[in-house]
Amino acid sequence: MFDPWLAGSGFVVGVLVGLTGVGGGALMTPILILVFGIRPTLAVGSDLAYATITKIFGSVQYVRRKQVNFPYVRWLAVGSVPSALLGVWVVSPWLDRTGIDVEHLTTRLLGIMLIMVALLAVAEQWLYSGRLRDSALIRSEAVQRQYKEPILIAGGIVIGLGVGLTSVGSGSLLMAILLLVSELDLLVLIGTDIMHATILLGAAGTAHWTKGNVEWSLVLALLVGSIPGVWLGSRLSQVVPRAPLRTALAIILAATGFKLFTS
């Protein structure tokens, strides 16, 4: 049954995503768990399905503008997709067989991921400004020529596992890795991030769907609200100061992450 409150939450999250650029998973999954009382694995799976659909539209636009680096996408996916599938199909059932409460563990892992996203949101300006990105270490021959592909694969493995278990990390965490190791234009990095996220979220969402962790009526309600919300937030971002709002949102995410981790 269609839930207008879920649609309303999707709208609010969509506005915040459009205004701040913070990933929807970091905002929506905690709301589904804390506000609507949805079990964590169902919240994660449904959010992944909803996020995949929204990312498809974004990735198409970047592909049309030729702002996607497909070699980067390939190396990231080599690590992230198998890792996400492993997390959903192997790690989670294994933990369940050993007597660990997977729902409780998912909640705690989500808390950790939210705290990490909050820290990155605060440190974003430092990363974007180039002080770290242009450092001698990051620009060294070893990192740029010998270790870039292994770094992308390793980063994909870590992010894939996190996304598979919590639905969070395909945006903020991956962008931090891309900013550090890449010399590409920022818009190309964003397009590459979105294209890879579409593939990763689709794989992780499918894995959760096969385990019964996707509620399609929930996904529909979120889409109905979030699509106009993102549009409105993107328009408002032209007039609303972004930095103070992003900082406030980072504080909220950190507090929410702490609550989930300690619950």
Non-local (6+) Cβ contacts of 87 within 8 A are: 160, 161, 164, 165, 204
pLDDT the model gives residue 243: 75
pLDDT the model gives residue 24: 73
Q: What is the pLDDT along the chain (263 residues), one digit of tens a residue?
A: 678 899 999 898 888 877 776 777 788 899 999 999 999 999 999 999 988 888 887 788 888 888 899 999 999 999 999 999 999 999 999 998 999 999 999 999 999 999 988 888 777 666 655 566 666 666 677 666 778 888 899 999 999 999 999 988 777 778 777 777 777 787 788 788 888 988 999 999 999 999 999 999 999 999 999 888 888 887 887 787 777 887 888 888 899 999 999 97
| Three-class HEC string of the chain | CCCHHHHHHHHHHHHHHHHHCCCHHHHHHHHHHHCCCCCHHHHHHHHHHHHHHHHHHHHHHHHHCCCCCHHHHHHHHHHHHHHHHHHHHHHHHHHHHCCCCHHHHHHHHHHHHHHHHHHHHHHHHHHHHCCCCCCCCCCCHHHHHHCHHHHHHHHHHHHHHHHHHHCCCCCHHHHHHHHHHCCCCHHHHHHHHHHHHHHHHHHHHHHHHHCCCCCHHHHHHHHHHHHHHHHHHHHHCCCCCHHHHHHHHHHHHHHHHHHHHHC
d(CA 154, CA 86): 15
pLDDT the model gives residue 31: 92
Non-local (6+) Cβ contacts of 5 within 8 A are: 36
d(CA 225, CA 220): 9
Which tokens sit at 119? 């820290």
pLDDT the model gives residue 128: 59
pLDDT the model gives residue 127: 63
